[in-house]
Structure 1
Amino acid sequence: MEFLPENNDLVAIGVSVLSGSLVGLEREYKNKSAGFRTIVLICLGATAFTIASRYGVGSDDRIAANIITGIGFIGAGVIFKDKFSVMGLTTAAVIWMVAGIGMAAGIGYYGLSLSLSVITVVVLSVFNKVEGAMERLFLTRTLFIVFQDMDVNNLEELKRQMDKHRIKYVRKTVSKRARRLSVVFELTADRKTLQQFNNEMMNLSYVEEFYYNS
């Protein structure tokens, strides 16, 4: 039997594309790994599966659960973890949220779908500025340092430098790396203070290399 989409299904698809586009444009503007096309397709895919579930018998909950599971795999693919930090969590959360927006459109809650899209864009845009303002006052970074040799006096001298700048620090690890002393600190200060400390470290002869992780 030939299947033709109902008018409500076409409306749901249109709302899904529009809702996904609102969030996708924000992600594309910020040059994220999940950009405009990816976000729209995720939203549209969730809508399509939700619409399909309405035509099954007793399958709604199972298909909805499988959408959540499948989105979990996609979200995990954009998360990157290095030695000290995790990146991509916000993008993964956006993918998860967009799937929910698509499901809302597929069920027929068009106003909810569009409203959630607008709220998501506001959270990603406005709250990002709030985070930036907070970082200017209070910022925590993980600092990885490799000294030129195994002289622990250099470590003590670096601590005095941090005390001079009134930087709060917690020593996480100390290790030997290629006949050099390696130390990991967690630093807490305002952004300007950390930048000044960073500039000073560039001129310290006993520091071989260093880098930060958020």
Structure 2
Amino acid sequence: MDLSWQQLTELYWSGAKCEVNLLLIANLLGGLLLGSLLGYERWYNGRAAGMRTYGLVCMASAAAISIIGYSGFWYGGHSPDTVHGDMTRVAQGVLTGIGFLGAGMIMKEGLSISGLTSAASVWMSSVIGILVGVGFYGAAIAMTLLCMAFVVVVNRIEHILPRRVSLFITIRLDPTHNWSVEKLAARLERFGLLLHDESVSIQADQVGTRWTFMISARNRRTFISVVDLSRDIMAADHIQELDIQPARN
């Protein structure tokens, strides 16, 4: 099929095509703005994924969905009857792909899991982009503001509500010292700490014995600081190495 330059220009740069491109550009800018706004909250709280990641995810989602709505204009609109986009499949593919991106943001070390909120919010940014792409601008703005408010407000509420402070501890003992779960629980009881028996893991070699376990404070208000706890634990001469991490999830 031979087309002249004038015919190609009319296909790809016609007045209707320019209007569609302007609307798509507006959707891209809207997705970029809303995604960056959502990412600011994560960036403000020191998370690895910030405004750039969220902005790009939201804009890409908006672009992928927006072009499906104008399948009649694909390839210059020369053969609109042969091109039909399935928006549900595209949305499914976008959400699945962003799910893999979110999975890479989740970090697990022992019993400590971090990145779940960031993974959920970056997936949320793709949904916001989809809303922008299909033209639900009010819902996209409301969803962005609700997500930001929810994360900020609930984070403050969690610090007010009663909860148990949990720590993930790894201790290397002298090979000549005999420890037992009962002795460990009794020692921690003096500090107001509860040992989770099901979390105890023991590894032994010629250098010594490595105990890994999770503890929780019986009362958050009376819980001593991590620095004081580590100082009291290291006071025992049979402990060679100590590692304390927050058991986040």
TM-score range relative to shorter protein = 0.7 to 0.9
Shift of 1:159: 3.0
Matches within 5 A, 1:36-75: 36-56=51-71, 57-75=84-102
1:141 aligns with 2:167: yes
1:176 aligns with 2:204: yes
**Of 89, 102, 117, the match for 1:90:** 117
Q: TM-score scaled to structure 2, two decimals?
A: 0.76
**Of 177, 193, 196, the match for 2:223:** 193
1:101 aligns with 2:128: yes
Aligned to 2:50: 35
Indicate the structure whose relative CO is greater, using CA pairs within 8 Å and at least 6 residues apart.
1
Aligned 8 A contact 1:141 1:186 in 2 = yes
For structure 2, which runs of at least 5 residues remain unmatched after alignment? 1-10, 72-83
SS in structure 2 at match of 1:152: coil
Aligned to 2:157: 130
Give identity over the alignment, percent: 25
Q: Which runs of 4+ in 1 moved over 4 A?
A: 153-157
Taking only aligned residues, the RMSD between alpha carbons, in angstroms, comes to 2.3
- Distance in 2, matches of 1:181 and 1:161, equals 18
SS in structure 2 at match of 1:4: helix
Aligned to 1:21: 36
- Distance in 1, matches of 2:106 and 2:169, equals 21
- Distance in 1, matches of 2:171 and 2:165, equals 18
Aligned to 2:18: 4
- Distance in 1, matches of 2:178 and 2:57, equals 53
Aligned 8 A contact 1:51 1:107 in 2 = yes
Aligned 8 A contact 1:15 1:114 in 2 = no
**Of 136, 139, 145, the match for 1:118:** 145
**Of 203, 206, 212, the match for 2:238:** 206
Equivalent pairs, count: 213
Deviations 1:4-46 (A, max 9, x none): 2435434433432331122121122123211111111111110
Shift of 1:168: 1.4
Opposite residue 239 of structure 2, the aligned amino acid is V
For structure 1, which runs of at least 5 residues remain unmatched after alignment? none
Q: TM-score scaled to structure 1, two decimals?
A: 0.87
SS in structure 1 at match of 2:215: strand
Shift of 1:144: 1.6
Structure (1 or 2) with the larger CA radius of gyration: 2
Deviations 1:101-148 (A, max 9, x none): 11011111111111111111112222222233347x412222221112
